[in-house]
Amino acid sequence: MGNFLFRVPPVIDFGWGRRDSVGTAVAQFGSRCVIVTTERLHQNTPMIEAMQRRLHESHVLSTVYDGVKPNPTVDMMDSGAAVAQSFRADVILGVGGGSAMDAAKAVALGATNPGSTWDYRLFGERKISNRVLPVVTVGTTAGTGSHVSPVSVLTNSDLNSKFAIVDYRLSPVWAIVDPELTLSVPPHVTAATGFDVFAHAFESTLHPNASPFVNLAAERALRLVAQFLPRAVQDGNDVEARIAMAEADTLAGICITNAGTTLPHGIAMAIGGHAPRVMHGAALAAVYPAVMRFTWADAITQFSHLYQILRNSPVLADGDPEQASRAVDLVEDFLAQIGLADTVDKLGIDSDILAAIVKDTFALPDYSVNPKVPSMDDVRDILSAGSTTVG
């Protein structure tokens, strides 16, 4: 009783303007660096060029792989790994949102290990046999928690399947968190990535591996999201809100590293596999109220705590069923406040792929660690909840 394992990320370098330290950060781990990023960041902003300058000042040779797009595919990861091999990279720098950081981890794996990165997914054919290159990250959104997690999410477009590589050797060795970079994130992306932070923190408290440390980090993350996400959505230049969300994202990432996600993420990942254009946070938001209604009675303590946090009250030890059920309404109100109140049918998902989404929800372990384990019918009901055209 009371035993737990808790991993802390090696280094978080947190602060306004900290991206300027990228050269010295990367130079600790190698002298030939592939920057893994998106075409948009590379072509439309001066950020990557500025980073290459910093790397050069620290005597690090660099090249850019900018083939990453949202919901990165296996092909993108494998192409990046080929670039890293031919450049003889000894360190990988991921610059961007969760997609770029996840891609950086997969590139670091694929650069030194045989086959396709897809082979190393959860339950995949291969195990990592060679040392993964060290990964340094500079995040540009406050979402995903990728900079402190061992997870790389990748999409196989041939199979319409979204899966994850989960291995602690993928965890970034150095995470630069510079909230100033999130100032330019538009409101709908701020809302979606910010709600992902909420989901990581809350679902970690529901996970069987939740520990006192996880719960502490989750509580702080949830309080920050409740207070500051609406402000960051409303005014992207709200510096205090951006700093708070960057902190919340980092804490929630530590939560999923040590506990994990549950049913909402299982369904949202399945949605992402079939409808990659739907933002991960928007898919989560669409299923959240229904999953909460399905789950709350089996996790009274955690749902009560969420209620207390969302009401900005201290967290009390005991659970209260009345509060637990009302937590669902509070989350619905919160989603409306940040403009993420769409049901699944409003996301533009064709009803003919719903059966496949239901099936794929059961391909990932998330559903099995939910406090109440769903059947396929339950997931079907969750997907059609509140919908006018489905079910």
Binding site for Fe ion (CB under 5 A): 196
Cβ proximity to Fe ion: between 29 and 202 the closer is 202
Tokens linked to 292: 């909460």
CB 197 within 8 A of CB 261: no
Nearer to Fe ion, 196 or 360 (CB): 196
Nearest approach, Cβ of 265 to Fe ion (angstroms)?
Answer: 6
Cα–chain-centroid distance for residue 253? Answer: 7
CB of 332 to Fe ion, least distance (A): 19
Residue nearest to Fe ion (CB): 196
Structural contact between residues 92 and 135, judged by C-beta atoms closer than 8 angstroms: yes
Q: Which is nearer to Fe ion, 66 or 196 (CB)?
A: 196
Comparing CB distances to Fe ion, the nearer of 91 and 164 is: 164
Among residues 90 and 196, whose Cβ is nearest to Fe ion? 196
Q: Which two tokens stand for residue 207?
A: 């996970």
Residue 105: partners with Cβ closer than 8 Å, 6 or more residues away: 92, 94, 132, 135, 146, 151, 152, 165, 170, 172
Q: Are 115 and 96 in contact (CB under 8 A)?
A: no
Least gap, CB of 196 to Fe ion (angstroms) = 4
H-type alpha helices, the chain: 22-27, 39-44, 47-57, 74-87, 98-110, 187-206, 212-234, 239-258, 263-274, 280-295, 300-310, 321-337, 354-361, 376-384
Tell the smallest beta-carbon distance from residue 11 to Fe ion (Å): 23
Measured from the CB atom, is 98 or 179 closer to Fe ion? Answer: 98
The C-alpha atoms of residue 202 and residue 265 are separated, in whole angstroms, by: 11
Contact in structure between 62 and 22 (CB atoms under 8 Å): no
3-state secondary structure of 61: strand
Bridge partners of 151, per DSSP, are 166
Round to whole Å and give the CA distance between 298 and 294.
9
Q: How far is the CB of 149 from Fe ion (least distance, A)?
A: 10
178 or 196: CB nearest Fe ion: 196
Residue 278 Cβ vs Fe ion, minimum distance, rounded to whole Å: 13
The nearer residue to Fe ion, 275 or 324, going by C-beta atoms, is 275
Instruction: Name the minimum Å distance from CB 24 to Fe ion.
Output: 31
Instruction: Let me know if 13 is exposed, middle or buried by CB neighbors in 10 A (0-12, 13-18, 19+).
Output: middle
Q: Within the chain, how many helices (H) and strands (E) appear?
A: 14, 8
Tell me how far, at minimum, the Cβ of 192 lies from Fe ion, in Å: 10
Q: How far is the CB of 144 from Fe ion (least distance, A)?
A: 6
Nearer to Fe ion, 196 or 247 (CB): 196
How many Cα atoms are found within 13 Å in the side-chain-facing hemisphere of 152? 33
